[in-house]
Amino acid sequence: SSRLPSQTQVHYGVTSPISLAYPKNVDFVHTQRMIEAMEPFGVFEDDKELNHRFVVLGKLNNLVNEWISELGERKNLPSAVLANGGKIFTFGSYRLGVHTRGADIDALCVAPRHVERTDFFQSFFEKLKHQEGIKNLRAVEDAYVPVVKFEFDGIEIDLVFARLSMHIVSDNLDLGDDSCLSSLDIRCIRSLNGCRVTDEILRLVPNKENFRLALRAIKLWAKRRGIYSNMLGFLGGVSWAMLVARTCQLYPNASASTLVNKFFLVFSKWEWPNPVLLKQPEDSNLNLPVWDPRVNLSDRYHVMPIITPAYPQQNSSYNVSTSTRAVMIEEFKHGLAVTNDILQGKSDWSKLFEPLNFFQKYKHYIVLTASASTKEHHLEWIGLVESKIRVLVANLERNEFITIAHVKPQSFPGNEHLHKQGAYVSMWFLGIVFKKVENAESVNIDLTYVIQSFTDTVYRQANNLNVLKDGMKIEAGHVKRKQLHYFLPAEILQKKKKQSVPDTSQNASRPQSKMTSLGGSSSRDRNSGTPHTSSPSNKIPKLTTSTAERERNAVCQVSHSAKNKEMIPRVAVPTVSMRLAVPVTDSKREAAAVIRTLALPVGCTIPGHNMVSHLGAHLVQGQHELSGTPSTDPKKTISKRPHSPTTGGCQSPRSAECPRKRVDGENLTGQDSAIKGGGNPKDAGSTSAENDALGKNSMQIPVINTSRSQRLSSKELPDSSSPVPTNSIRIIKRSIKLTLN
């Protein structure tokens, strides 16, 4: 990037820049070192691989034109129409220029009006079937954005389709023109939106090369720290791109290494739920639904809105929950501390890309497993289960005693000693932080109903989608950190003597690995079809996963009035007492209890049948019916209430990897101080730029009732939408209880 200022500086974004400073020589040195630190992770593709992608996309474009011409002949269209073909556009990370080695390509097939969507999923799909070099072809026609997936000459491609209302698809077609959306069905609009958003992001950044380098670093960092997953409630590629683009707008002349540091500075201090906007939302006469919390009730429950810049504007981060936002904010603060040290010469860039030691971070975990009897059923089953895990997070964080429910995006194959009869198994882990309990000798925490309701929902949706097969099962259970070795090998656990996230429960009065499961059949537990190395002594019966429906979080009240400004509650490190603990037995007895607990169902009911397994008395005491009524003394039980982000749900976990450094005490120069106010800064100082740096005037979020922290999306099935399917499904009732002393 040039070190010399231009005659006139063009401003990008909804506010003035925070700093127009140009990089110094040391900044270019830091950028080069950052590049060198990223290279071992396969972030950059060489020219040979890049050229191969060009060739494959050219072949695909030719296939599309051949297909459209053949289709026109079959429909007896005039020769003038037959000459008009379609066109392939790319979007996503490949279009942004930040794809990694071996990454897939997101592509869009644009066709003229005489080509129907059914043609794409039938005749073009058949053409792909017989094309040399294409493998793993499958269509997902009922997806939110319908897609055909395949591998073409070794390159994974996700191809979506849009039928335009025009007769001719010209070579210079501009998809950014809103007129392209005229008279299209919603599926075509969604397909076009990927390209429109990607192109608009590139148009709204001042220096594309610096943007790309900074985005590569942030994406690698997010993946290494376990917060790259739109499906599980973190952020996906488009959201990360927009956050980096906003940073580029605020620091338009900064080097890539400086942008990475400023990224962490900006978003560790951002006052959510103020939206991140790359430009002011524009209206259109097409009357398509857009993100607007002033109009749409559901939009008011988004806790971390990041708004796409192309019409129709949408929130790309609608899956984010109170817990996942808190985890990400803590990671932003960690990233700021690390990059500050790097820029001061106290550390190097490899430190930024060190992975999070998730399995040493928390004292308590929920283990979810999904299993099926065949490989094909397993792939289908885990796709559905994984897509709903974020709903379990939402359900857990509504519990008044849970501060954080942190899911690790990576899944793991089942322990070969955990599953005895050959099933295909995947496991996910959620770290749990319990809230401090004041003025109570002991408090019972019952998670049974939370787990049961979400597993019911998964089975119900699977049944409605006709994907439920014999042998499909999900289970969930609570385990403590020291019991994780039953499920994972030592090299994954990375045992280090580090302080974990403190919470209010260190010991349990009951055995700590109690499972709630629902089985898709009466088949017994089986070995994983994808085993990994584990200690032969880790002989423990199988678990399986559960999943839930996503609900939206309630957001805190925001008022943008200059006369009456209310600050949004900050995400704070939870205050906990080390005195409050969950009692434990000695390790040998406890391990035995774990094995006994996971061995067989406690109360298993099958329509028309009853089956009760033998288990120790200590587990029987913890059992209750699915109504949520515990068998313990009701006087000692705390009733459930919805968990609101304004009452502690926004608290963030204390990182065990990196002790928190004071961020608030950092000196902010110029308009950096605007970040501290999150879009609502004080009216002192450089008023215009500082007050607008976070989009203060871009959007007003109405006051809402936060008594309910989550909302179901219109696309999700509420619990009462249909009965839980009873055919071939075993409903296993088992309690998951903890006692905080």
In order, the DSSP letters of 129-144 are HTSTTEEEEEEETTSS
- DSSP letter (8 states) at residue 647: G
**What b-and-e string marks burial along 447-461, b requiring 16 or more CB atoms within 10 Å of the CB?**
bbbbbbbbbbbbbbb
| Euclidean distance between CA atoms 390 and 547, whole angstroms | 8
Question: The domain 25-41+206-351 is classified under which CATH number: 2.130.10.30, 2.20.25.160, 3.30.9.90, 1.10.1410.10?
Answer: 1.10.1410.10
Residue spans per domain, the chain: 25-41+206-351, 47-199, 358-642+728-740
pLDDT at 461 over 60: yes
Greatest mean pLDDT among 68-72, 163-167, 204-208, 437-441 lies in 204-208
> Do strands 473-480 and 515-519 pair parallel, antiparallel, or not at all (unpaired)?
antiparallel
Which pLDDT score, from 0 to 100, does residue 664 have?
38
- Residue 482 sits at φ, ψ, to 5 deg, of -70, -10
Which pLDDT score, from 0 to 100, does residue 612 have?
28
Q: What is the pTM of this model?
A: 0.70
pLDDT band at 418 (very low <50, low <70, confident <90, very high): low
Which pLDDT score, from 0 to 100, does residue 663 have?
37
Position 569, amino acid: P
pLDDT at 686 over 60: no
For the domain bounded by 358-642+728-740, which CATH number is listed?
3.30.70.590
Mean pLDDT over each residue of the chain, to the nearest integer: 73
Tokens at residue 352, please?
A: 């930024």
| Euclidean distance between CA atoms 321 and 390, whole angstroms | 8
- DSSP letter (8 states) at residue 608: T
**Rounded to 10 degrees, what is the CA torsion of 497, 499, 503, 504?**
70
Half-sphere exposure of 29 (CA within 13 A, CB side): 8
| Euclidean distance between CA atoms 359 and 484, whole angstroms | 8
Place of tokens 């976070």: 694
Q: Given 3-state DSSP classes, what are the helix, strand and coil percentages for the chain, each rounded to the nearest 5?
A: 35, 15, 50
Which pLDDT score, from 0 to 100, does residue 379 have?
87
Q: What is the mean pLDDT of residues 279-290?
A: 88
Q: What is the mean pLDDT of residues 57-74?
A: 92
pLDDT at 9 over 60: yes
Residue among 188, 144, 456 at smallest CA distance from 318? 144
Q: How far is CA 625 from CA 136, 617, 670, in A?
A: 45, 17, 60
Which pLDDT score, from 0 to 100, does residue 739 have?
63
The better pLDDT of the pair 246, 682 is held by 246
Residue among 66, 231, 58, 71 at smallest CA distance from 144? 231
pLDDT at 42 over 60: yes
Burial of 531 (0-12, 13-18, 19+ CB in 10 A): middle
Place of tokens 């839930």: 548
Cβ(683)–Cβ(691) below 8 Å: yes
Name the residues annotated as catalytic: 93, 104, 106, 158, 219, 228
Element (H, E) at 738: strand 737-740
Which pLDDT score, from 0 to 100, does residue 552 have?
32
Q: What three-state secondary structure class fits 612?
A: strand
Greatest mean pLDDT among 405-409, 679-683, 691-695 lies in 405-409
Q: What is the mean pLDDT of residues 449-460?
A: 89
Q: What is the mean pLDDT of residues 494-520?
A: 41
pLDDT > 90 fraction of the chain, expressed in percent and rounded: 45
Greatest mean pLDDT among 566-575, 610-619, 656-665 lies in 656-665
What are 478's strand-pairing partners?
366
Tokens at residue 202, please?
A: 């590139």
| Euclidean distance between CA atoms 418 and 420, whole angstroms | 6
Residue among 328, 335, 370, 203 at smallest CA distance from 261? 335
Position 400, amino acid: E
pLDDT band at 171 (very low <50, low <70, confident <90, very high): confident
For the domain bounded by 47-199, which CATH number is listed?
3.30.460.10
pLDDT at 453 over 90: no
Residue among 362, 360, 505, 361 at smallest CA distance from 435? 505
Tokens at residue 17, please?
A: 């820049």
Cβ(510)–Cβ(623) below 8 Å: no
Residue among 287, 323, 293 at smallest CA distance from 305? 293
Q: What is the mean pLDDT of residues 102-128?
A: 94
Which pLDDT score, from 0 to 100, does residue 417 have?
61
Low-confidence winner among 107-116, 163-172, 275-284, 599-608 (lowest mean pLDDT):
599-608
Low-confidence winner among 136-140, 416-420, 714-718 (lowest mean pLDDT):
714-718
The better pLDDT of the pair 719, 60 is held by 60
pLDDT > 70 fraction of the chain, expressed in percent and rounded: 64
741: how many CB neighbours lie within 10 A of its CB? 18
pLDDT at 437 over 80: no
Place of tokens 């289960």: 385
pLDDT band at 741 (very low <50, low <70, confident <90, very high): low
pLDDT at 721 over 70: no
Place of tokens 């997101």: 106
Cα 306–chain centre separation: 13
| Euclidean distance between CA atoms 423 and 420, whole angstroms | 8
- Residue 434 sits at φ, ψ, to 5 deg, of -95, 145
| Euclidean distance between CA atoms 346 and 348, whole angstroms | 7
32: how many CB neighbours lie within 10 A of its CB? 14
The better pLDDT of the pair 238, 738 is held by 238
Q: How far apart are the first and last CA of the chain?
A: 59
State pLDDT tens for residues 177-206.
888 898 899 999 999 999 999 999 999 999
Cβ(48)–Cβ(275) below 8 Å: no
The better pLDDT of the pair 285, 317 is held by 317
Q: What is the mean pLDDT of residues 273-296?
A: 92
Q: What is the 3-state secondary structure (H, E, C) of 307-359?
A: ECCCCCCCECCCCCCHHHHHHHHHHHHHHHHHHHHHHCCCCCHHHCCCCCCHH
| Euclidean distance between CA atoms 684 and 406, whole angstroms | 39
Half-sphere exposure of 643 (CA within 13 A, CB side): 26
pLDDT band at 82 (very low <50, low <70, confident <90, very high): confident
Low-confidence winner among 57-61, 170-174, 462-466, 687-691 (lowest mean pLDDT):
687-691
Position 369, amino acid: T
Q: How far is CA 599 from CA 371, 392, 545, 595, in A?
A: 16, 24, 15, 6
